[in-house]
Amino acid sequence: MRETTVSPLPPVARGSGIREVARLAGVSTATVSRVFNDAASVSPDTRARVLEWATALRYEPSSLGRNLVRGRSELLGLIVPNVSFPLYGEMLGGIEAVLGGRGMSILLASSDDDPVGELTAARKVLRHAVDGGVIINSRLSTTPPAPRGLHWVQISAEHAGLPCRVELDNEAGGWLAALELLRVGRRRLTYLGAPGRESRERERGFAGALSKAGLTYRRAEGDYSELSGTWAADALLAAEPAPDGLFVAGDLMAAGALRALHRRGLRVPADVAVVGFDDAVIASLLYPRLTSIRQPAHAMGAAAAELSLRLIAGLPAESVTFAPELVRRESTGPP
Amino acid sequence: MRETTVSPLPPVARGSGIREVARLAGVSTATVSRVFNDAASVSPDTRARVLEWATALRYEPSSLGRNLVRGRSELLGLIVPNVSFPLYGEMLGGIEAVLGGRGMSILLASSDDDPVGELTAARKVLRHAVDGGVIINSRLSTTPPAPRGLHWVQISAEHAGLPCRVELDNEAGGWLAALELLRVGRRRLTYLGAPGRESRERERGFAGALSKAGLTYRRAEGDYSELSGTWAADALLAAEPAPDGLFVAGDLMAAGALRALHRRGLRVPADVAVVGFDDAVIASLLYPRLTSIRQPAHAMGAAAAELSLRLIAGLPAESVTFAPELVRRESTGPP
DNA sequence: TTGTAGGCGTTATCAA
DNA sequence: TTGATAACGCCTACAA
């Protein structure tokens, strides 16, 4: 615990405070406060005078003082595994969009895709007395990082830790991928997965749809990285019979798989059709453009923010599961 | 100004405060404070007793109270045009890396790539009394958003607004691109630019290197988007003589240009060599892998954070310019 | 409509 | 080594 954050930094220069504005405007601090908070109950006259001095002094109420007395910080904690991962960036965008209008700001901390980092990030965020928060893709199996007021929402975690969750129906996603590959006449199918719950769920849906069609499939496992996609695809392609359809658990890994296919001179989709997952920005940049199972990342972020705000407001908030969507592109269709 | 942020939300449940810990441990609040701040000047005995009660009550010093009296918020404001842009994600990573060890956190606000949004973001961040901040790719031509304490640093802004800056030597980047295209024997060169200072500087370097070699070049302009890259490249390719070398001001736009080349059946690099800019994650995912001028985004973010911390600490801080670097890949070399 | 006064949780100064 | 006590900047009954 004790986390001694002795910061040797000197205090930052302060602006002028409520008292100075009050003094110069010839009113009490209470009145100044009212001008900045309460719309009513202050005469147009006084308000004008106060506002005049306020702007002259460049006064703005300090959120420190305000939040101290109100017991709120107007901050939403956000813990994300890795800021540069495109999908998380989109989620962040959704969260921001919701928060923007509500006068809340984002306190960001990244967990570096690591349980310990996650805890560190949580403590960091909690120290600032955030009112609530969102944690993306948590790896923690234990209790959530919510000491006081547990207004936290999780998106796509490894374990069902928090009561309030935003999820994607991964199984349905796997199902969609299978149907698409079947639609374009593929029968020798393959799943390229990764460790973790999400991949398992995607595979379950994929397997379900195939067994319903009386088919089986082969599998290999990577780690969501491009390189692992290339390797796993290579292994898959070496075996007989050569697959004609490939479902990959992530777009980045799918990019690696495409490269392996190119190297062997296999045409996509003519020889092998490919379906990715996430529909990250890169999906439409690949060659050929990648058919992918879309995660509505922006909407999921927005939903999580909304839920957290409801929790903070003491309103009921229920977990929500989003449905994935097939985005058909060249890798399963005509070029 | 007046920004009435009347939040109708109820106060968040508070944990137990310093007083309760003090009371139960049978000491004064001052002593509890000392236990959590200065290492010395409190007997092992008392400290143990205090710590015991503190953990029992799950007490942690509120940063609200602490910062109020210290006049610091331990927050660094960060204004970024668009969180989902990969390059900015990398910069953010660099900033986080530096801040992590210094007990500072990031207050994030996005400007939506728009001057008005930038102002809004600035106000939002400033309200929380951040100690300093970093603003990425500012579009503002006027004064910086720094009312009290101007501990702000800008990265790659459109205008030289803030005194403390982190920049990339774009001109050198353009120069590098030209040399690379010349190296692989190209003579009919083309620049695919975009509006703004950065593109102009890149072009200047490009033009300089070419004129030194006694060459001229043609040009087209996009807007950094993939689609604009396709269009501009199409226009360029329709004209005679067909170019055999292409320098594109951004990787995303280069992706679009590659697509235009594919569509016309032109081979890269055999028929046309291509050099992009930024070396964003996507550069190595494209087909063929894209040679690009690397912006050391992570290092630039880290430098900006470092500078802001120095400014906050009252230390001298000087602007810094980073040198770009050529990352050679398939689009200008053997596959 | 306005002012007075108390308190939010913490740290820092000074005296013991 | 410890304890009173006075800020820090603001909000909000309550009273006028």
Query: What ranges make up the beta strands (E) of chain B?
Result: 75-80, 105-110, 132-136, 152-155, 165-168, 189-193, 217-221, 245-248, 273-278, 291-294, 320-322, 325-327
A106 in the same domain as A57: no
Tokens coding A121 = 């990030």
Give the whole-angstrom CA distance, residue B57 versus residue B44.
20
Q: Is the pLDDT of residue A8 over 50?
A: no
Domain boundary among the residues B61, B94, B112 is at B61
A335 to chain B: closest CA residue: B263
Asked if residue B148 belongs to a domain, the reply is yes
- Provide, as residue numbers in chain B, all residues whose Cβ is less than 8 Å from the Cβ of A285: 226, 252, 255, 282, 285-286
Q: How confident is the model at residue A102 (pLDDT cuts 50, 70, 90)?
A: confident
B161 in the same domain as B304: yes
* Residue B248 dihedral angles phi and psi, to the nearest 5°: -115, 135
Mean pLDDT of chain B: 89
Q: Between chains, do B84 and A92 touch, taking CB under 8 Å as contact?
A: yes
Estimate the crossing angle of helix A297-312 against helix A86-100, to 10 degrees. Answer: 40
A281 in the same domain as A178: yes
B109 in the same domain as B96: yes
Return the pLDDT at B143: 54
Sequential DSSP letters for A271-293: T-EEEEEE--GGGGTSSSPPEEE
- Cβ-contact A103, A74 below 8 angstroms: yes
Q: Between chains, do B92 and A84 touch, taking CB under 8 Å as contact?
A: yes
Beta bridge partners, B135, equal B79, B154
Beta bridge partners, A110, equal A80
A310 in the same domain as A253: no
Return the pLDDT at B120: 85
CB atoms within 10 A of CB B183: 13
pTM for this structure? 0.88
A266 in the same domain as A182: yes
At position A49, the amino acid (one-letter code) is R
CA distances from B242 to B222, B252, B256 (A): 19, 22, 18
Q: Is the pLDDT of residue A6 over 60?
A: no
- Provide, as residue numbers in chain B, all residues whose Cβ is less than 8 Å from the Cβ of A39: 4, 6
Å: A166 CA to C3 C1': 49
Asked if residue A286 belongs to a domain, the reply is yes
Query: What ranges make up the beta strands (E) of chain A?
Result: 75-80, 105-110, 132-136, 152-155, 165-168, 189-193, 217-221, 245-248, 273-278, 291-294, 320-322, 325-327
Asked if residue B256 belongs to a domain, the reply is yes
In three-state secondary structure terms, A179 is helix
Tokens coding B229 = 């890259």
Å: A113 CA to D1 C1': 44
Q: Quick check: A286 contacting B, CB < 8 Å?
A: yes
Q: Is the pLDDT of residue A30 over 50?
A: yes
Q: Between chains, do A72 and B96 touch, taking CB under 8 Å as contact?
A: no
Å: B2 CA to D16 C1': 28
A262 in the same domain as A155: no
Give the whole-angstrom CA distance, residue B32 versus residue B57.
13
Interface of A with B in 53-112 (CB under 8 A): 54-55, 58, 60-65, 67-68, 70-75, 78, 82-86, 89-90, 92-93, 96, 102-103, 105-110
A277 in the same domain as A212: yes
Return the pLDDT at A44: 87
Interface of A with B in 239-268 (CB under 8 A): 252, 255, 258-259, 262
Say which CATH number the domain at B93 has. Answer: 3.40.50.2300
Q: How confident is the model at residue B144 (pLDDT cuts 50, 70, 90)?
A: low
A291 in the same domain as A303: no
Å: B29 CA to D6 C1': 14
Q: Between chains, do B7 and A54 touch, taking CB under 8 Å as contact?
A: no
Beta bridge partners, A73, equal none
Interface of B with A in 208-237 (CB under 8 A): 226
Return the pLDDT at A307: 96
Q: Is the pLDDT of residue A328 over 90?
A: yes
Q: Which nucleotides of C are covered by protein (CB under 7 A)?
A: 1-13
Give the whole-angstrom CA distance, residue B138 versus residue B141.
8
Using only the alpha carbons of chain B, give its radius of gyration.
Answer: 26
Asked if residue B240 belongs to a domain, the reply is yes
Beta bridge partners, B134, equal B78, B153
B280 in the same domain as B181: yes
Number of domains, chain B: 3
Contacts of B3 (CB under 8 A, 6+ apart): A60, B123, B127
Residue A83 DSSP class: T
Asked if residue A235 belongs to a domain, the reply is yes
Residue A294 DSSP class: E
Asked if residue B37 belongs to a domain, the reply is yes
Give the whole-angstrom CA distance, residue A146 versus residue A328.
41
Say which CATH number the domain at A30 has. Answer: 1.10.260.40
B17 CA: nearest nucleotide by C1':
C9
Return the pLDDT at A275: 98
* Beta strand pairing call for B291-294 and B325-327: antiparallel
Number of A–B residue contacts, CB under 8 Å: 222
B251 in the same domain as B201: yes
Q: What is the mean pLDDT of residues B3-25?
A: 67
Asked if residue A333 belongs to a domain, the reply is no
Q: Closest to B12 (Cβ–Cβ): which among A71, A78, A286?
A: A71
Mean pLDDT of chain A: 89
Asked if residue A282 belongs to a domain, the reply is yes
Location of structure tokens 């959704």: A94
Domain assignment of residue A23, given as a range: 18-61
Q: Is the pLDDT of residue A176 over 90?
A: yes
Number of helices (H), then strands (E), belonging to chain B: the values are: 11, 12
Q: How far is CA B297 from the centre of its chain?
A: 7
B103 sits in the region (left: phi over 0; alpha: psi -120 to 50; else beta) called: left
Considering Cα of A166, then A169, then A171, then A174, what sign does the dihedral take? negative
Residue A37 DSSP class: S
Å: B22 CA to D6 C1': 19
- Provide, as residue numbers in chain A, all residues whose Cβ is less than 8 Å from the Cβ of B312: 9, 12
| B166-208 tens-digit pLDDT | 999 999 999 999 999 999 999 999 999 999 999 999 999 999 9
Q: Is the pLDDT of residue B142 over 70?
A: no
B308 in the same domain as B276: no
Give the whole-angstrom CA distance, residue B57 versus residue B158.
51
